[in-house]
Amino acid sequence: MDIEAVRAEALRKLGRNIVNFSKIEAAFKYLLSVSQLEGDGKTISAQLRRNQTRLRKQTFGKLVQEFNNNILGDASQSEPISDFSGAGISLSFKVNCNNPDFLKVQKRKLSSIVAERNKLIHQELAFIDTSSVEDYHNLITLLDEQNPRLLAQLEELKWMIETLRESLKVFEDLSKSPDFLQSIQSNQSNA
């Protein structure tokens, strides 16, 4: 087989996987930036911007570690919402699971994706012989085996993002409904 054709295929698949790693990283940044916000309208907006700025500089490994620590959680060990003085709201996004073993597997799977990415970028590519058809074939095999795991992770993150967005939309629609406003007013008059 022509080395140029094999090289082109390897580079196309490498680009595909790198794009998928980037999408996973962007999803982590998004979810982490909105996962814990509290205050009033102005302070929440400023806090969100600070979170985005802080997360922009995080490594992929640090993002996964923070995601594992702050978003994935054991439902039996849910933390109470913090107390804060003054008027304001607290928004918290967590993915809880009732099965601690499943949770451990999920966290290991995320850490494994970071290790795969780092190994690909820092080892596999550094030692590829660009004149070897066999090295390109080995790279193609590695990338083809890796991609389904990346796509599965992207689907899980997509589900989380869509669930969060749908929940916020439902809450927004509910808060605008006349029934909701009447319910609040009747609860105030009964107090």
Residues 136-189 pLDDT 10s:
999 999 999 999 999 999 999 999 999 999 998 988 888 888 887 777 767 656
So what's the pLDDT on residue 98? 84
- Predicted pLDDT of residue 154: 97
Model pLDDT, residue 178: 81
Q: What is the distance between the alpha carbons of residues 81 and 36, in angstroms, rounded to a whole number?
A: 10
Tell me the C-alpha distance between 94 and 78, whole Å.
Answer: 9
Q: How far apart are CA 44 and CA 91, in angstroms?
A: 9
pLDDT of 39 reads 86
Q: Where are the domains positioned within the chain?
A: 3-183
The pLDDT score that the predictor gives to residue 8 is 97
Task: In whole angstroms, give the CA distance from residue 110 to residue 69.
Answer: 12
164 contacts 31 by C-beta, under 8 angstroms: yes
Confidence of residue 83 (pLDDT cuts 50, 70, 90): low
Helix axes 100-119, 3-34, angle to 10 degrees: 140
Residue with tokens 């804060």: 84
| Range name among 26-30, 82-86, 115-119, 125-129 with the lowest pLDDT average | 82-86
Per-residue pLDDT of 34-55, as tens digits, reads: 998 888 878 888 999 999 999 9
Q: Are 24 and 153 in contact (CB under 8 A)?
A: yes
pLDDT reported for residue 156: 94
pLDDT > 90: what percent of the chain?
63
Q: What is the pLDDT of residue 48?
A: 92
The reported pLDDT for the residue numbered 187 is: 62
